[in-house]
Amino acid sequence: MRIGILALQGAVREHQRMVEACGQEAVAIKRVDELTHIDGLILPGGESTTMRRLMDRYGFTEALRESALPMFGTCAGVILLAERVIGQEEGHLGKLDVTVERNSFGRQVDSFEAELDVRGLEEKALAVFIRAPHIDATGEDVQVLSKVGEKIVAVRSDRHLGISFHPELTDSLLFHRYFIDMVKENMAKEVLA
Ligand code: GLN
């Protein structure tokens, strides 16, 4: 299995290290034509408006809107995946039927760590939040996986996983393993179809 990491901006190397620690091949994706060589794509954290500009410039916005690849967005990445972003007229890629709010944990707490309970997982996940968004509303086909207080911070649909935080800045491989399992399920479905 080959997992791509969108390598326009943000925490690319850290994700590569996590994917490799899960025993899979990690590929930094810099050109649209490289999307055909991978089975799943990680959209890293960074700054969503900057990433969107670079995605437009290099043709990724259109290619990813049309792509059926499983995708995993962390922090800025979940903002890119969301159908709706509070305060913006339109979402970026419109992959996950959720509404996100940017920088929503308050100015005083720019960053913090938390141990999260995650639906379907027995272990707690250590998570680092940096100027993190939260998920304000979810559509029917979206499952809530985790919350901090009342705020939703992890969700999934059939092929898309979105989280508000940075697992790649911890030693916890839980979410990367979770995504790799989603990619495996998707590959199995494609073989049957
Ligand atoms: N605040 C950033 C944004 O709105 C996301 C921060 C992050 O990815 N750590 O895009």
What ipTM was estimated for this complex?
0.95
Q: What is the dihedral of CA 177, 183, 186, 188, to 10 degrees?
A: -80
Task: Output the pLDDT for position 130.
Answer: 94
Ligand 1 centroid to Cα of residue 48, in Å, is 6
Rounded to 5 degrees, what angle do the CA atoms 183, 48, 116 make? 55
Annotated catalytic sites, by residue? 75, 166, 168
- pTM over 0.90? The answer is yes
In this predicted model, what pLDDT tens digit does every residue of 159-168 receive, in sequence order?
999 999 999 9
DSSP-derived secondary structure for 134-157: EEEEE-TT-EEEEEETTEEEEEE-
In this predicted model, what pLDDT tens digit does every residue of 73-128 receive, in sequence order?
999 999 999 999 999 999 999 999 999 999 998 765 689 999 999 999 989 999 99
Ligand 1 centroid to Cα of residue 184, in Å, is 28
Closest atom of ligand 1 to 166 CA is: 9
Reported as a pLDDT band with limits 50, 70 and 90, residue 24 is very high
Q: Give the span between the Cα atoms of 149 and 164, in whole angstroms.
A: 14
Looking at ligand 1, which residue's alpha carbon is closest to its atom 5?
A: 76
Closest atom of ligand 1 to 50 CA is: 10
Query: Is the distance from the beta carbon of residue 103 to the nearest atom of ligand 1 less than 6 Å?
Result: yes
37-60: average pLDDT: 97
